[in-house]
Structure 1
Amino acid sequence: MEETMSIKELFQTLKKRIWLIALVTIIAAIISAVVSFFVLTPVYESKTQILVNQAKSDQQLYNAAEVQTNIQLINTYNVIIKSPAILDKVKNELNLDRTVEELNGQVTVSSAKDSQVVEITVQDSSPHVAAQIANKTAEVFQKQISKIMKIDNVSVLSKAEVKGDVYPVKPHPLLNIAIAIVIGLIFGVGLAVLLEYLDNTVKTEQDIENILELPVMGVITNIKEVPKATNVTARAPLNTRASQRGETYGS
Protein backbone atom coordinates (compact mmCIF):
# COMPACT_ATOMS: atom_id res chain seq x y z
CA MET A 1 0.00 0.00 0.00
CA GLU A 2 1.28 3.43 -0.83
CA GLU A 3 2.43 5.79 1.87
CA THR A 4 -0.33 8.24 1.01
CA MET A 5 -4.02 7.49 0.50
CA SER A 6 -6.08 9.25 -2.12
CA ILE A 7 -9.64 10.42 -1.52
CA LYS A 8 -10.95 7.56 -3.65
CA GLU A 9 -8.95 4.98 -1.68
CA LEU A 10 -10.13 6.56 1.57
CA PHE A 11 -13.78 6.18 0.59
CA GLN A 12 -13.13 2.62 -0.55
CA THR A 13 -11.55 1.86 2.80
CA LEU A 14 -14.47 3.37 4.69
CA LYS A 15 -16.94 1.44 2.55
CA LYS A 16 -15.06 -1.82 3.09
CA ARG A 17 -14.86 -1.34 6.86
CA ILE A 18 -18.19 0.39 7.44
CA TRP A 19 -19.17 -2.42 9.81
CA LEU A 20 -16.18 -1.62 12.04
CA ILE A 21 -16.98 2.10 12.12
CA ALA A 22 -20.63 1.40 12.93
CA LEU A 23 -19.68 -1.08 15.66
CA VAL A 24 -17.27 1.34 17.37
CA THR A 25 -19.86 4.15 17.19
CA ILE A 26 -22.63 2.00 18.66
CA ILE A 27 -20.39 0.79 21.48
CA ALA A 28 -19.37 4.36 22.33
CA ALA A 29 -23.02 5.50 22.39
CA ILE A 30 -24.07 2.56 24.60
CA ILE A 31 -21.24 3.17 27.07
CA SER A 32 -22.11 6.88 27.25
CA ALA A 33 -25.79 6.12 27.83
CA VAL A 34 -25.06 3.59 30.57
CA VAL A 35 -22.66 5.96 32.34
CA SER A 36 -25.01 8.95 32.03
CA PHE A 37 -28.17 7.18 33.18
CA PHE A 38 -26.87 4.64 35.70
CA VAL A 39 -23.40 5.68 36.93
CA LEU A 40 -23.27 9.47 37.23
CA THR A 41 -25.18 11.03 40.12
CA PRO A 42 -27.72 13.69 39.05
CA VAL A 43 -26.85 17.17 40.32
CA TYR A 44 -29.51 19.81 41.00
CA GLU A 45 -29.04 23.56 41.23
CA SER A 46 -30.69 26.19 43.38
CA LYS A 47 -30.16 29.95 43.51
CA THR A 48 -30.82 32.84 45.86
CA GLN A 49 -30.13 36.54 45.42
CA ILE A 50 -29.00 39.18 47.86
CA LEU A 51 -29.02 42.92 47.33
CA VAL A 52 -26.17 45.17 48.37
CA ASN A 53 -28.13 48.34 49.09
CA GLN A 54 -27.51 51.70 50.68
CA ALA A 55 -26.11 51.72 54.15
CA LYS A 56 -28.54 52.90 56.78
CA SER A 57 -28.48 56.67 57.10
CA ASP A 58 -30.77 59.65 57.47
CA GLN A 59 -30.73 60.25 53.74
CA GLN A 60 -33.79 59.01 51.87
CA LEU A 61 -32.31 58.85 48.37
CA TYR A 62 -29.36 57.03 46.88
CA ASN A 63 -26.52 59.00 45.46
CA ALA A 64 -24.05 57.86 42.81
CA ALA A 65 -21.10 57.72 45.19
CA GLU A 66 -22.86 55.34 47.60
CA VAL A 67 -24.05 53.07 44.80
CA GLN A 68 -20.53 52.89 43.37
CA THR A 69 -19.16 52.10 46.81
CA ASN A 70 -21.64 49.27 47.21
CA ILE A 71 -20.72 47.87 43.80
CA GLN A 72 -17.04 47.90 44.76
CA LEU A 73 -17.89 46.07 47.97
CA ILE A 74 -19.46 43.21 46.01
CA ASN A 75 -16.06 41.74 45.08
CA THR A 76 -15.21 41.65 48.76
CA TYR A 77 -18.58 40.11 49.60
CA ASN A 78 -18.06 37.39 46.99
CA VAL A 79 -14.94 36.27 48.81
CA ILE A 80 -16.51 36.52 52.28
CA ILE A 81 -19.56 34.44 51.28
CA LYS A 82 -17.34 31.45 50.44
CA SER A 83 -15.04 31.92 53.42
CA PRO A 84 -14.92 29.45 56.35
CA ALA A 85 -16.37 32.18 58.59
CA ILE A 86 -19.67 31.83 56.70
CA LEU A 87 -19.67 28.25 55.42
CA ASP A 88 -18.64 26.74 58.74
CA LYS A 89 -21.76 28.21 60.36
CA VAL A 90 -23.88 27.00 57.44
CA LYS A 91 -22.48 23.51 57.86
CA ASN A 92 -23.15 23.44 61.60
CA GLU A 93 -26.65 24.93 61.44
CA LEU A 94 -27.77 22.49 58.73
CA ASN A 95 -25.85 19.53 60.23
CA LEU A 96 -24.26 18.72 56.90
CA ASP A 97 -22.11 15.60 56.69
CA ARG A 98 -19.38 17.22 54.59
CA THR A 99 -16.32 19.36 55.12
CA VAL A 100 -16.18 23.12 54.64
CA GLU A 101 -13.91 22.54 51.60
CA GLU A 102 -16.52 20.28 50.00
CA LEU A 103 -19.24 22.81 50.76
CA ASN A 104 -17.10 25.54 49.21
CA GLY A 105 -16.95 23.52 46.00
CA GLN A 106 -20.74 23.40 45.87
CA VAL A 107 -21.24 27.15 46.24
CA THR A 108 -20.75 29.64 43.41
CA VAL A 109 -21.07 33.41 43.86
CA SER A 110 -21.55 35.75 40.92
CA SER A 111 -22.82 39.23 40.12
CA ALA A 112 -23.65 41.08 36.92
CA LYS A 113 -21.42 43.95 35.85
CA ASP A 114 -22.30 47.23 37.56
CA SER A 115 -25.06 45.49 39.49
CA GLN A 116 -25.71 45.48 43.21
CA VAL A 117 -27.33 42.03 43.08
CA VAL A 118 -25.23 39.04 44.16
CA GLU A 119 -26.40 35.56 43.16
CA ILE A 120 -25.54 32.54 45.29
CA THR A 121 -25.77 29.25 43.35
CA VAL A 122 -25.57 25.85 45.05
CA GLN A 123 -25.34 22.43 43.40
CA ASP A 124 -26.22 19.23 45.23
CA SER A 125 -27.52 15.74 44.54
CA SER A 126 -30.74 16.76 46.35
CA PRO A 127 -32.71 19.79 45.13
CA HIS A 128 -34.07 20.42 48.63
CA VAL A 129 -30.61 20.36 50.23
CA ALA A 130 -29.33 22.71 47.52
CA ALA A 131 -32.13 25.19 48.31
CA GLN A 132 -31.46 24.91 52.07
CA ILE A 133 -27.75 25.59 51.62
CA ALA A 134 -28.40 28.58 49.35
CA ASN A 135 -30.91 30.17 51.73
CA LYS A 136 -28.84 29.45 54.82
CA THR A 137 -25.70 30.89 53.22
CA ALA A 138 -27.53 34.13 52.40
CA GLU A 139 -29.01 34.25 55.90
CA VAL A 140 -25.71 33.66 57.69
CA PHE A 141 -23.90 36.15 55.46
CA GLN A 142 -26.53 38.82 56.15
CA LYS A 143 -26.05 38.37 59.91
CA GLN A 144 -22.27 38.07 59.93
CA ILE A 145 -21.37 40.88 57.53
CA SER A 146 -22.34 43.51 60.09
CA LYS A 147 -19.88 41.94 62.54
CA ILE A 148 -17.11 41.38 60.01
CA MET A 149 -17.18 44.77 58.26
CA LYS A 150 -19.28 46.84 60.72
CA ILE A 151 -21.84 47.64 58.02
CA ASP A 152 -25.43 46.67 57.42
CA ASN A 153 -26.30 47.10 53.78
CA VAL A 154 -27.26 43.56 52.70
CA SER A 155 -30.79 42.23 52.26
CA VAL A 156 -32.15 39.01 50.79
CA LEU A 157 -33.79 39.76 47.46
CA SER A 158 -35.18 36.29 46.65
CA LYS A 159 -35.01 32.91 48.35
CA ALA A 160 -34.28 29.58 46.73
CA GLU A 161 -37.35 27.39 46.29
CA VAL A 162 -38.10 23.93 44.94
CA LYS A 163 -41.17 24.19 42.74
CA GLY A 164 -42.90 21.28 41.00
CA ASP A 165 -40.80 18.98 38.90
CA VAL A 166 -37.12 19.76 39.01
CA TYR A 167 -34.56 18.51 36.55
CA PRO A 168 -30.84 18.00 37.15
CA VAL A 169 -28.41 20.46 35.61
CA LYS A 170 -25.98 17.62 34.98
CA PRO A 171 -25.31 15.15 33.58
CA HIS A 172 -26.89 15.78 30.17
CA PRO A 173 -27.47 12.25 28.80
CA LEU A 174 -28.49 13.28 25.28
CA LEU A 175 -25.56 15.66 24.95
CA ASN A 176 -23.17 13.02 26.29
CA ILE A 177 -24.51 10.43 23.84
CA ALA A 178 -24.18 12.87 20.93
CA ILE A 179 -20.58 13.61 21.89
CA ALA A 180 -19.88 9.88 22.25
CA ILE A 181 -21.29 9.24 18.76
CA VAL A 182 -19.01 11.89 17.25
CA ILE A 183 -15.98 10.54 19.13
CA GLY A 184 -16.93 6.98 18.13
CA LEU A 185 -17.15 7.97 14.47
CA ILE A 186 -13.76 9.69 14.58
CA PHE A 187 -12.15 6.76 16.38
CA GLY A 188 -13.82 4.23 14.07
CA VAL A 189 -12.63 6.03 10.93
CA GLY A 190 -9.13 6.33 12.34
CA LEU A 191 -9.08 2.64 13.27
CA ALA A 192 -10.35 1.62 9.82
CA VAL A 193 -7.66 3.67 8.07
CA LEU A 194 -4.97 2.31 10.40
CA LEU A 195 -5.99 -1.31 9.81
CA GLU A 196 -6.04 -0.71 6.06
CA TYR A 197 -2.60 0.85 6.23
CA LEU A 198 -1.17 -2.09 8.19
CA ASP A 199 -2.85 -4.69 5.99
CA ASN A 200 -0.21 -5.81 3.43
CA THR A 201 -1.94 -8.98 2.28
CA VAL A 202 -3.01 -9.53 -1.33
CA LYS A 203 -6.67 -10.45 -1.65
CA THR A 204 -7.77 -9.34 -5.12
CA GLU A 205 -6.33 -8.73 -8.57
CA GLN A 206 -6.74 -5.03 -7.88
CA ASP A 207 -4.27 -5.37 -4.99
CA ILE A 208 -1.75 -6.96 -7.40
CA GLU A 209 -2.10 -4.12 -9.86
CA ASN A 210 -1.69 -1.54 -7.09
CA ILE A 211 1.38 -3.19 -5.57
CA LEU A 212 3.25 -4.41 -8.68
CA GLU A 213 1.87 -1.76 -11.03
CA LEU A 214 1.37 -4.47 -13.67
CA PRO A 215 -1.79 -5.46 -15.51
CA VAL A 216 -3.45 -8.74 -14.60
CA MET A 217 -3.50 -11.13 -17.61
CA GLY A 218 -5.81 -13.72 -16.16
CA VAL A 219 -7.43 -15.04 -13.02
CA ILE A 220 -7.59 -18.65 -11.82
CA THR A 221 -10.90 -19.30 -10.19
CA ASN A 222 -11.37 -21.50 -7.16
CA ILE A 223 -12.00 -25.15 -8.06
CA LYS A 224 -14.34 -26.98 -5.77
CA GLU A 225 -12.98 -30.20 -4.32
CA VAL A 226 -14.45 -33.31 -5.89
CA PRO A 227 -16.03 -35.53 -3.22
CA LYS A 228 -14.30 -38.84 -2.69
CA ALA A 229 -16.02 -41.97 -4.10
CA THR A 230 -17.77 -44.18 -1.59
CA ASN A 231 -16.55 -47.77 -1.38
CA VAL A 232 -19.37 -50.11 -2.48
CA THR A 233 -19.25 -53.89 -2.10
CA ALA A 234 -20.95 -55.66 -4.99
CA ARG A 235 -23.02 -58.64 -3.99
CA ALA A 236 -24.53 -61.22 -6.36
CA PRO A 237 -28.30 -61.85 -6.46
CA LEU A 238 -29.73 -64.63 -4.29
CA ASN A 239 -30.65 -66.91 -7.18
CA THR A 240 -27.20 -66.65 -8.65
CA ARG A 241 -25.60 -67.52 -5.33
CA ALA A 242 -28.00 -70.47 -4.88
CA SER A 243 -27.22 -71.86 -8.33
CA GLN A 244 -23.55 -71.54 -7.66
CA ARG A 245 -23.96 -73.50 -4.43
CA GLY A 246 -25.98 -76.19 -6.32
CA GLU A 247 -23.30 -76.56 -8.90
CA THR A 248 -20.77 -76.92 -6.24
CA TYR A 249 -22.73 -79.58 -4.38
CA GLY A 250 -23.46 -81.53 -7.57
CA SER A 251 -19.92 -81.74 -8.74
Structure 2
Amino acid sequence: MEETISLRELFDTLKKRMTLILVITILAAAISGAVSYFVIKPIYKSSTQILVSQAAAGELASLAGLSFDADAKYIETYNVIMKSPYILDQVIEELKLDTTPEALNGSVSVAQEGQSQVVTISVQNEDPAEAVIIANEIAKVFQREISSLMRIDNIHILSPAELPEIPVPVKPQPVLNIAIALVVGLMAGVGLAFLLEYMNNTIKTEQDVEKLLELPVLGIITTINDDKTGSPKQRKQKKVRGETVGTQG
Protein backbone atom coordinates (compact mmCIF):
# COMPACT_ATOMS: atom_id res chain seq x y z
CA MET A 1 0.00 0.00 0.00
CA GLU A 2 1.48 3.31 -1.06
CA GLU A 3 1.81 5.89 1.67
CA THR A 4 0.62 9.42 1.00
CA ILE A 5 1.34 12.52 3.04
CA SER A 6 -1.30 15.21 3.29
CA LEU A 7 -0.65 18.92 3.58
CA ARG A 8 -2.02 18.79 7.10
CA GLU A 9 0.66 16.28 8.09
CA LEU A 10 3.32 18.50 6.54
CA PHE A 11 2.10 21.51 8.47
CA ASP A 12 1.89 19.46 11.67
CA THR A 13 5.49 18.36 11.22
CA LEU A 14 6.66 21.92 10.65
CA LYS A 15 4.66 23.12 13.65
CA LYS A 16 6.07 20.41 15.89
CA ARG A 17 9.66 21.16 14.82
CA MET A 18 9.28 24.94 14.59
CA THR A 19 11.67 25.56 17.47
CA LEU A 20 14.38 23.47 15.83
CA ILE A 21 13.88 25.25 12.48
CA LEU A 22 14.09 28.70 14.08
CA VAL A 23 17.20 27.81 16.08
CA ILE A 24 19.04 26.53 13.00
CA THR A 25 18.00 29.55 10.92
CA ILE A 26 19.03 32.10 13.55
CA LEU A 27 22.27 30.25 14.26
CA ALA A 28 23.20 30.22 10.56
CA ALA A 29 22.52 33.95 10.24
CA ALA A 30 24.49 34.72 13.41
CA ILE A 31 27.50 32.70 12.25
CA SER A 32 27.42 34.35 8.82
CA GLY A 33 27.22 37.81 10.35
CA ALA A 34 30.06 37.11 12.79
CA VAL A 35 32.29 35.75 10.03
CA SER A 36 31.46 38.65 7.68
CA TYR A 37 32.09 41.36 10.27
CA PHE A 38 34.91 39.94 12.40
CA VAL A 39 36.74 37.19 10.46
CA ILE A 40 36.86 38.10 6.75
CA LYS A 41 39.13 41.04 6.06
CA PRO A 42 37.47 43.82 4.04
CA ILE A 43 38.64 44.22 0.44
CA TYR A 44 38.64 47.64 -1.24
CA LYS A 45 38.52 48.38 -4.94
CA SER A 46 40.03 51.26 -6.86
CA SER A 47 39.81 51.95 -10.60
CA THR A 48 41.53 54.12 -13.17
CA GLN A 49 40.50 54.67 -16.77
CA ILE A 50 42.68 55.00 -19.85
CA LEU A 51 41.71 56.14 -23.32
CA VAL A 52 42.96 54.37 -26.43
CA SER A 53 43.24 57.08 -29.08
CA GLN A 54 40.93 56.18 -31.94
CA ALA A 55 43.00 58.13 -34.43
CA ALA A 56 46.16 56.20 -33.69
CA ALA A 57 44.40 52.85 -33.63
CA GLY A 58 42.58 53.73 -36.83
CA GLU A 59 45.84 54.64 -38.50
CA LEU A 60 47.25 51.23 -37.60
CA ALA A 61 44.10 49.58 -38.88
CA SER A 62 44.40 51.34 -42.23
CA LEU A 63 48.06 50.42 -42.52
CA ALA A 64 47.32 46.79 -41.78
CA GLY A 65 44.21 46.73 -43.98
CA LEU A 66 42.05 45.50 -41.11
CA SER A 67 38.29 45.81 -40.69
CA PHE A 68 36.29 48.38 -38.74
CA ASP A 69 36.52 46.42 -35.47
CA ALA A 70 40.33 46.61 -35.39
CA ASP A 71 40.14 49.05 -32.45
CA ALA A 72 38.43 46.45 -30.28
CA LYS A 73 41.03 43.85 -31.21
CA TYR A 74 43.84 46.18 -30.26
CA ILE A 75 42.12 46.93 -26.96
CA GLU A 76 41.87 43.21 -26.22
CA THR A 77 45.61 42.99 -26.86
CA TYR A 78 46.20 45.90 -24.50
CA ASN A 79 44.15 44.18 -21.81
CA VAL A 80 46.37 41.10 -21.97
CA ILE A 81 49.57 43.18 -21.92
CA MET A 82 48.43 45.18 -18.87
CA LYS A 83 48.13 41.98 -16.80
CA SER A 84 51.29 40.40 -18.17
CA PRO A 85 54.39 39.82 -15.99
CA TYR A 86 56.24 42.30 -18.21
CA ILE A 87 54.10 45.16 -16.84
CA LEU A 88 53.39 43.81 -13.36
CA ASP A 89 57.07 43.07 -12.64
CA GLN A 90 57.89 46.72 -13.22
CA VAL A 91 54.96 47.84 -11.06
CA ILE A 92 56.16 45.62 -8.21
CA GLU A 93 59.73 46.84 -8.56
CA GLU A 94 58.87 50.53 -8.70
CA LEU A 95 56.41 50.37 -5.78
CA LYS A 96 58.56 47.85 -3.85
CA LEU A 97 55.57 45.60 -3.28
CA ASP A 98 55.94 42.40 -1.28
CA THR A 99 54.10 40.20 -3.78
CA THR A 100 54.53 38.24 -7.00
CA PRO A 101 53.26 38.98 -10.51
CA GLU A 102 50.89 36.00 -10.24
CA ALA A 103 49.39 37.24 -6.96
CA LEU A 104 49.10 40.79 -8.26
CA ASN A 105 47.48 39.49 -11.45
CA GLY A 106 44.72 37.90 -9.37
CA SER A 107 43.82 41.26 -7.82
CA VAL A 108 43.79 43.19 -11.12
CA SER A 109 40.96 43.24 -13.62
CA VAL A 110 40.86 45.03 -16.97
CA ALA A 111 37.63 45.67 -18.87
CA GLN A 112 36.57 47.65 -21.91
CA GLU A 113 33.67 50.02 -21.34
CA GLY A 114 31.12 48.81 -23.86
CA GLN A 115 32.21 49.43 -27.46
CA SER A 116 34.22 52.54 -26.56
CA GLN A 117 37.97 53.07 -26.52
CA VAL A 118 37.90 53.50 -22.73
CA VAL A 119 39.52 50.75 -20.65
CA THR A 120 39.05 50.48 -16.88
CA ILE A 121 41.84 49.08 -14.71
CA SER A 122 40.57 47.89 -11.32
CA VAL A 123 42.64 46.73 -8.36
CA GLN A 124 41.39 45.05 -5.19
CA ASN A 125 43.42 45.28 -2.01
CA GLU A 126 43.00 45.14 1.77
CA ASP A 127 44.45 48.68 1.93
CA PRO A 128 42.33 51.22 -0.02
CA ALA A 129 45.28 53.61 -0.40
CA GLU A 130 47.49 50.87 -1.79
CA ALA A 131 44.77 49.89 -4.26
CA VAL A 132 44.76 53.47 -5.59
CA ILE A 133 48.55 53.56 -5.91
CA ILE A 134 48.75 50.20 -7.72
CA ALA A 135 45.96 51.08 -10.18
CA ASN A 136 47.60 54.38 -11.12
CA GLU A 137 51.04 52.78 -11.40
CA ILE A 138 49.78 50.07 -13.75
CA ALA A 139 48.30 52.74 -16.01
CA LYS A 140 51.54 54.77 -15.98
CA VAL A 141 53.80 51.79 -16.67
CA PHE A 142 51.56 50.55 -19.45
CA GLN A 143 51.40 54.01 -21.06
CA ARG A 144 55.19 54.20 -20.95
CA GLU A 145 55.96 50.69 -22.20
CA ILE A 146 53.33 50.30 -24.93
CA SER A 147 55.19 52.72 -27.20
CA SER A 148 58.26 50.47 -27.25
CA LEU A 149 56.24 47.25 -27.44
CA MET A 150 53.94 48.17 -30.34
CA ARG A 151 55.63 51.33 -31.71
CA ILE A 152 52.58 53.45 -30.99
CA ASP A 153 51.68 56.26 -28.65
CA ASN A 154 47.92 56.26 -28.36
CA ILE A 155 47.34 55.72 -24.62
CA HIS A 156 46.07 58.57 -22.44
CA ILE A 157 45.16 58.40 -18.77
CA LEU A 158 41.56 59.59 -18.73
CA SER A 159 40.64 59.30 -15.07
CA PRO A 160 43.26 58.39 -12.44
CA ALA A 161 42.20 56.49 -9.33
CA GLU A 162 41.51 58.57 -6.22
CA LEU A 163 41.13 57.67 -2.57
CA PRO A 164 37.63 58.52 -1.28
CA GLU A 165 37.15 60.20 2.08
CA ILE A 166 35.30 57.17 3.43
CA PRO A 167 36.42 54.00 1.59
CA VAL A 168 33.67 51.40 1.27
CA PRO A 169 34.76 47.75 0.94
CA VAL A 170 33.43 45.70 -1.95
CA LYS A 171 33.91 42.43 -0.06
CA PRO A 172 32.51 40.98 2.07
CA GLN A 173 28.86 42.05 1.87
CA PRO A 174 27.48 41.24 5.35
CA VAL A 175 23.84 41.96 4.55
CA LEU A 176 23.88 39.74 1.48
CA ASN A 177 25.76 37.01 3.33
CA ILE A 178 23.28 37.08 6.22
CA ALA A 179 20.33 36.93 3.82
CA ILE A 180 21.84 33.91 2.07
CA ALA A 181 22.55 32.28 5.44
CA LEU A 182 18.92 32.81 6.49
CA VAL A 183 17.66 31.03 3.39
CA VAL A 184 20.18 28.21 3.70
CA GLY A 185 19.51 27.85 7.43
CA LEU A 186 15.76 27.75 6.86
CA MET A 187 16.12 25.08 4.19
CA ALA A 188 18.45 23.05 6.41
CA GLY A 189 16.07 23.35 9.36
CA VAL A 190 13.06 22.24 7.33
CA GLY A 191 15.02 19.37 5.83
CA LEU A 192 16.23 18.22 9.25
CA ALA A 193 12.70 18.46 10.64
CA PHE A 194 11.31 16.14 7.96
CA LEU A 195 14.29 13.81 8.34
CA LEU A 196 13.71 13.47 12.07
CA GLU A 197 10.01 12.89 11.49
CA TYR A 198 10.78 10.23 8.90
CA MET A 199 13.19 8.44 11.24
CA ASN A 200 10.77 8.62 14.18
CA ASN A 201 9.05 5.19 14.15
CA THR A 202 7.56 5.29 17.66
CA ILE A 203 3.84 4.55 18.10
CA LYS A 204 2.01 7.21 20.08
CA THR A 205 -1.57 7.38 18.82
CA GLU A 206 -4.20 5.11 17.31
CA GLN A 207 -3.51 6.76 13.95
CA ASP A 208 0.06 5.46 14.17
CA VAL A 209 -1.30 1.95 14.78
CA GLU A 210 -3.56 2.18 11.75
CA LYS A 211 -0.65 3.27 9.56
CA LEU A 212 1.65 0.54 10.85
CA LEU A 213 -0.78 -2.40 10.74
CA GLU A 214 -2.95 -1.05 7.89
CA LEU A 215 -5.99 -2.13 9.94
CA PRO A 216 -8.79 -0.07 11.45
CA VAL A 217 -8.74 0.49 15.22
CA LEU A 218 -11.91 -0.97 16.81
CA GLY A 219 -11.38 0.35 20.31
CA ILE A 220 -8.90 1.72 22.79
CA ILE A 221 -8.31 1.12 26.50
CA THR A 222 -7.96 4.25 28.54
CA THR A 223 -5.62 4.54 31.50
CA ILE A 224 -7.41 3.86 34.82
CA ASN A 225 -6.04 5.66 37.83
CA ASP A 226 -7.23 3.92 41.04
CA ASP A 227 -6.07 5.29 44.36
CA LYS A 228 -2.73 6.19 42.91
CA THR A 229 -3.74 9.64 41.91
CA GLY A 230 -1.72 12.58 43.11
CA SER A 231 1.84 12.74 44.32
CA PRO A 232 3.35 10.18 46.74
CA LYS A 233 3.19 12.75 49.53
CA GLN A 234 -0.53 13.33 48.97
CA ARG A 235 -1.23 9.57 48.97
CA LYS A 236 0.66 9.20 52.26
CA GLN A 237 -1.36 12.00 53.86
CA LYS A 238 -4.62 10.31 52.81
CA LYS A 239 -3.50 7.04 54.36
CA VAL A 240 -2.57 8.71 57.69
CA ARG A 241 -5.93 10.48 57.94
CA GLY A 242 -7.79 7.21 57.35
CA GLU A 243 -5.88 5.39 60.10
CA THR A 244 -6.58 8.22 62.55
CA VAL A 245 -10.32 8.19 61.93
CA GLY A 246 -10.44 4.38 62.44
CA THR A 247 -8.72 4.65 65.86
CA GLN A 248 -11.13 7.25 67.21
CA GLY A 249 -14.14 5.16 66.23
Q: Same fold (TM over 0.5)?
A: yes
For 1:206, the equivalent position in structure 2 comes to 207
For 2:247, the equivalent position in structure 1 comes to none
For 1:238, the equivalent position in structure 2 comes to none
The runs of 5 or more residues in structure 2 that have no matched partner are 60-65, 241-249
For 2:167, the equivalent position in structure 1 comes to 166
Return the TM-score normalized by structure 2.
Answer: 0.82
Is 1:7 aligned to 2:1, yes or no?
A: no
For 2:20, the equivalent position in structure 1 comes to 20
The runs of 5 or more residues in structure 1 that have no matched partner are 59-64, 233-251
Could you say if the C-alpha distance between residues 162 and 226 of structure 1 is closer, same or farther in structure 2, counting changes exceeding 3 Å?
A: closer
Could you say if the C-alpha distance between residues 170 and 57 of structure 1 is closer, same or farther in structure 2, counting changes exceeding 3 Å?
A: closer
For 1:48, the equivalent position in structure 2 comes to 48
Counterpart secondary structure, 1:215: coil
Size of the aligned set, in residue pairs, is 225
Runs of at least 4 residues off by over 6 Å = none
Q: Tell me which protein shows more helix as a share of its residues.
A: 2
Give the percent of matched residue pairs that are identical in Structure 1 and Structure 2.
Answer: 52
Larger radius of gyration: 1
Distance in 1, matches of 2:236 and 2:74, equals 102
Distance in 2, matches of 1:221 and 1:176, equals 53
Partner AA of 2:146 in structure 1: I
Counterpart secondary structure, 1:166: coil
Asked if structure 1 preserves the Cα contact closer than 8 Å seen for 2:33 and 2:174, the reply is yes
For 1:117, the equivalent position in structure 2 comes to 118
Deviations 1:151-209 (A, max 9, x none): 11101000000122121011110110000000011111110001100100012333234
CA RMSD in angstroms, aligned pairs only = 2.5
Asked if structure 1 preserves the Cα contact closer than 8 Å seen for 2:57 and 2:74, the reply is no
Shift of 1:19: 0.7
Could you say if the C-alpha distance between residues 226 and 216 of structure 1 is closer, same or farther in structure 2, counting changes exceeding 3 Å?
A: farther
Deviations 1:36-68 (A, max 9, x none): 01111101110000000033999xxxxxx8985
Asked if structure 1 preserves the Cα contact closer than 8 Å seen for 2:58 and 2:71, the reply is no
Counterpart secondary structure, 1:55: helix
For 1:215, the equivalent position in structure 2 comes to 217
Could you say if the C-alpha distance between residues 69 and 166 of structure 1 is closer, same or farther in structure 2, counting changes exceeding 3 Å?
A: same
Distance in 1, matches of 2:136 and 2:218, equals 82
Could you say if the C-alpha distance between residues 216 and 189 of structure 1 is closer, same or farther in structure 2, counting changes exceeding 3 Å?
A: farther
Deviations 1:93-149 (A, max 9, x none): 111111111100000000033211111011111111111110000000000001111
Distance in 2, matches of 1:105 and 1:52, equals 24
Shift of 1:222: 7.2
Asked if structure 2 preserves the Cα contact closer than 8 Å seen for 1:25 and 1:188, the reply is yes
Q: Give matches, 1:190-201, under 5 Å.
A: 190-201=191-202
Return the TM-score normalized by structure 1.
Answer: 0.82
Shift of 1:71: 3.0
Counterpart secondary structure, 2:56: coil
- Of 10-19 and 197-206, more deviation after overlay is shown by 197-206
Q: Give matches, 1:175-186, under 5 Å.
A: 175-186=176-187
For 2:102, the equivalent position in structure 1 comes to 101
Distance in 1, matches of 2:25 and 2:223, equals 37
Distance in 1, matches of 2:134 and 2:68, equals 29
Asked if structure 1 preserves the Cα contact closer than 8 Å seen for 2:57 and 2:71, the reply is no
Distance in 1, matches of 2:20 and 2:138, equals 53
Asked if structure 2 preserves the Cα contact closer than 8 Å seen for 1:202 and 1:208, the reply is yes
Shift of 1:70: 3.2
